[in-house]
A and B are shown apart, each in its own frame.
Chain A
């Protein structure tokens, strides 16, 4: 059992806040991804957990016990780094056995543990090889074995696959997920790659400018992004401003949509409307819907990406099924699902919008 809690962590440097107020609760055995653009504080957060950075305020605790006073070597965390992970002057066996030898375990036990760890990461028998004789992916596997062999309570991963080539990266992700599930270890994974985060995480914490914008499961994050930043950072989102009129929102060209229940808004207010590309429907010109002009249609494997210009809104992106025949030029579009943002925060979702009516 290892539940990791970050409690209002703050770290400020001369240049500004690295993390402003980070709180996170990672359940036992859970894999949480810290996702965000570079400089958002995700790596700082990870290094605070590992003990390489002492926060200005806040606390890090495992199962209710603060580990903040412990130096990195006494924390029950195991880390896999982005690059330069293995010690080049030691072979694989010594790399993996290093921590066990420090703990003065009997040789037999070390041998067994190293063997088990290498088998776990799919590199049995590689113990005599030197890091320079391994590929980047193999090096990261050994690094993972080195972290896991010490049976840490928390596994920390700092973009471990970013230097591995794209095809192998996908496979290593899957393997990591399998290993993490099998060992059942509480893990925090830092990445800037949303696809990576969506594919391996139980929950994702999206960070920006030293703050966590939203913590949610991948599907929740995609379906209900809590802020405009998350909406645009995860996947593709058409976001535009619209006016509120009574209990309706004026989309474009006089087309309106009903506001979701509970959204207390007053006429004349500006709100943000977000529509996923797959939630925009297309019909022929003259049909009911907002008039638009398709300027680009690209085949992207299993779907078709369409770019269209809409009066008052601007350029929108639409994903349609490949079987749909789409012609450039005039058409009508309408959203079947929309998210509404006020002051950058999500205030409501309309899951099934009716066909727009010209007012």
Chain B
């Protein structure tokens, strides 16, 4: 008898699938659930399985705290600026990597990883010395630039793959129908590559939103973002504060992922190209 005999029994196979899904779900969701419970807990002492009392006390505390508001403000301003700037810089690069043949192309393409190849902290400190000369330390734009570094790889590689996936025939068909090169790009190439670009933009946004090391070195104490404040809050305040703040920190990710679901699925793209 085979070791995987149970896979041949449909009921057992289905049961196994359900068990796997439940386990994985529990693994992903239980910590989140604990977090949510903590955020609304007023008192939660051993050995209670659930908190002894609930309140919204810590929520109002968090929202009334001046440091928190400042951090939220800088988080929701730096991250979008970083994303847009990254797109402006990286998308033309991605298109060039995908469509043009130039000397050193593959070297440059790989070298984008260089920023991720060294320990980040050392890199940030050497960048910080340059920023110091340029008067970028403790400024909004200093933080934007340091966060930008983390977005380069995803913002070039994923859209480049997106542009790669646009068959030349589709661009040529548009040329043939009377569209000039620029119009072909806007009407055909870009829309078809868009799912990849949106996914890259979301990842870039989240990378900037979650960035802490570089922001800490370049931005603090004047420019603090939510992840940096998180360190302070977790270290110095009761657990519910950290929990409330974690929820706030995960809201953008959740909203973006829900919004981007249809692009992540992007079924129409794949289906349109069948018959290869």
Contacts and interface: CB of A to CB of B under 8 A. Distances in A.
A152 to B, nearest CB: 9
Given A83-B169, A88-B192, A130 B272 contact: yes
Main secondary structure of the interface of B (DSSP, over half): helix
Contacts of B170: 84-85, 87-88
Interface in A139-162: 139, 143, 146-147, 150
Contacts of B172: 50, 52, 72, 79, 81
Given A83-B276, A87-B170, A87-B192, A99 B269 contact: no
B107 interface: no
A344 B158 CA distance: 54
A335 B48 CA distance: 103
B188 interface: yes
B17 interface: no
B178 interface: yes
Interface in B261-276: 267-269, 271-276
B25 to A, nearest CB: 31
A50 B169 CA distance: 12
Interface residue tally on A, bucketed by range? 20 to 34
A286 B101 CA distance: 70
A150 B175 CA distance: 13
Contact of B271 (A77, A81, A132): A132
Given A87-B192, A88-B268, A98 B174 contact: yes
B177 A131 contact: no
B32 interface: no
Interface string B237-276: 0000000000000000000000000000001110111111
A163 interface: yes
A131 B274 CA distance: 10
Interface in A69-121: 71-75, 77-79, 81-89, 98-99, 102-103
Nearest to B267: A132
B191 interface: yes
Nearest to B273: A84
B176 A72 contact: yes
Contacts of B271: 88, 132
A136 interface: yes
B92 interface: no
B272 A131 contact: yes
Nearest to B191: A89
Contacts of A79: 172-173, 176
B57 interface: no
Nearest to A78: B176
A132 B272 contact: yes
B175 A52 contact: yes
Contacts of A99: 177-179
Contacts of B272: 86, 88-89, 130-132
Interface in B175-204: 175-180, 183, 187-188, 191-192, 194
A51 B178 CA distance: 12
Contacts of B188: 87
A50 B188 CA distance: 19
A73 B179 contact: yes
A81 B173 contact: yes
Contacts of B268: 88-89, 130, 132
B168 to A, nearest CB: 8
Contacts of B191: 89
A84 B169 contact: yes
B169 A81 contact: yes
A338 to B, nearest CB: 44
Interface string B74-100: 000000000000000000000000000
Interface of B: 167, 169-170, 172-180, 183, 187-188, 191-192, 194, 267-269, 271-276
Given A74-B178, A83-B275, 15 more contacts: A52-B175, A72-B172, A73-B179, A79-B172, A81-B172, A83-B169, A84-B170, A87-B188, A89-B272, A98-B179, A130-B272, A132-B268, A132-B272, A132-B274, A163-B276
7 contacts: A51-B175, A78-B176, A83-B275, A85-B170, A88-B268, A102-B179, A132-B271
